Amino acid sequence: MGDRPKRALITGGNGNLGRLVADRLLNQGQHVIKFDVPGTEPELLQANEAVLGGDIRETDMLKNVLAEHQPDTIYHLASLLSGSSEENLQATWDINASASFGLLNLARETGVGTFFFASTVATYGVVDTNPMPEDFPQWPENLYGATKVAVERMGAYFRQKHGMDFRCLRLPLVVSPFAPEGAVSAFPSHAFKAASRGESFRFPVSEATGMSTLFLDDAIDAIVAFCAADRASLSRPAYNLHGYYLSAGMVAAAARQRFSGFDCSFEPIDAVEHLIASWPDRIEDQAARQDWGWRPTFDFERSADHICALLRASSDGEG
Ligand SMILES: NC(=O)c1ccc[n+]([C@@H]2O[C@H](COP(=O)([O-])OP(=O)(O)OC[C@H]3O[C@@H](n4cnc5c(N)ncnc54)[C@H](O)[C@@H]3O)[C@@H](O)[C@H]2O)c1
Residue 110 sits in a domain whose CATH number is 3.40.50.720
218-241 as b/e: b if 16+ CB within 10 A = bbbbbbbebbebeeeebeebbbbb
Flag whether pLDDT at 251 surpasses 60.
Answer: yes
Closest residue by Cα to atom 9, ligand 1, is 118
Question: Ligand 1 centre from 12 Cα, in Å?
Answer: 6
Which 3 state secondary structure label does DSSP give 313?
helix
- Per-residue pLDDT band at 315 (split at 50, 70, 90): confident
Residue 291 lies in a domain: no
Residue 287 lies in a domain: no
Domain co-membership, 32 together with 90 = yes
> What strand order describes the sheet that includes 210-215?
173-175, 210-215, 244-247
Flag whether pLDDT at 182 surpasses 90.
Answer: no
Residue 83 lies in a domain: yes
For residues 272, 79, 311, 33, the Cα torsion angle rounded to the nearest 10 degrees is 170
Flag whether pLDDT at 184 surpasses 80.
Answer: no
Question: Ligand 1 centre from 77 Cα, in Å?
Answer: 5
Of 9, 17, 175, 276, best ligand 1 pocket probe by most atoms within 8 Å of the beta carbon: 17
Question: What total number of domains does the chain contain?
Answer: 2
- Measuring CA to CA, how many Å separate 178 from each of 14, 35, 174? 11, 19, 10
Closest residue by Cα to atom 26, ligand 1, is 78
SS3 content of the chain, % helix, strand, coil (to 5): 45, 20, 35
Flag whether pLDDT at 110 surpasses 70.
Answer: yes
The chain-wide mean pLDDT, for the chain, equals 94
Pocket of ligand 1 (CB under 6 A): 11-12, 14-18, 36-37, 40, 55-57, 77-81, 95, 118, 120, 171, 173-174, 180, 182-183, 185
Question: Ligand 1 centre from 11 Cα, in Å?
Answer: 9
Domain co-membership, 42 together with 170 = yes
Residue 69 CA to residue 71 CA, distance in Å, equals: 6
Domain co-membership, 232 together with 84 = yes
Closest residue by Cα to atom 23, ligand 1, is 12
Residue 273 lies in a domain: yes
Domain co-membership, 98 together with 204 = no
Tens digit of each residue's pLDDT (9 = 90 or more) over 133-171:
999 999 999 999 999 999 999 999 999 999 999 999 999
Closest residue by Cα to atom 12, ligand 1, is 77
Residue 286 lies in a domain: no
Atom of ligand 1 nearest to the CA of 55: 32
Domain co-membership, 132 together with 193 = no
Question: Ligand 1 centre from 13 Cα, in Å?
Answer: 9
Domain co-membership, 116 together with 76 = yes
DSSP H or E segment with residue 51: strand 49-53
- Per-residue pLDDT band at 2 (split at 50, 70, 90): low
| pLDDT given at position 192 | 95
Flag whether pLDDT at 319 surpasses 60.
Answer: no
Flag whether pLDDT at 69 surpasses 60.
Answer: yes
Domain co-membership, 233 together with 200 = no
Domain co-membership, 253 together with 118 = no
Which 3 state secondary structure label does DSSP give 309?
helix
Closest residue by Cα to atom 2, ligand 1, is 174
Question: Ligand 1 centre from 36 Cα, in Å?
Answer: 10
Please give the single-letter amino acid code of residue 52: L
Domain of residue 41: give its range: 7-174+213-240
Strands 210-215 and 244-247: antiparallel
Predicted structure pTM score: 0.95
Domain co-membership, 129 together with 250 = no
| pLDDT given at position 84 | 84
6, 27 Cβ separation under 8 angstroms: no
Task: Give the CATH number, domain containing residue 309.
Answer: 3.90.25
Residue 1 lies in a domain: no
Flag whether pLDDT at 97 surpasses 60.
Answer: yes
| pLDDT given at position 214 | 96
Domain co-membership, 99 together with 207 = no
| pLDDT given at position 317 | 56
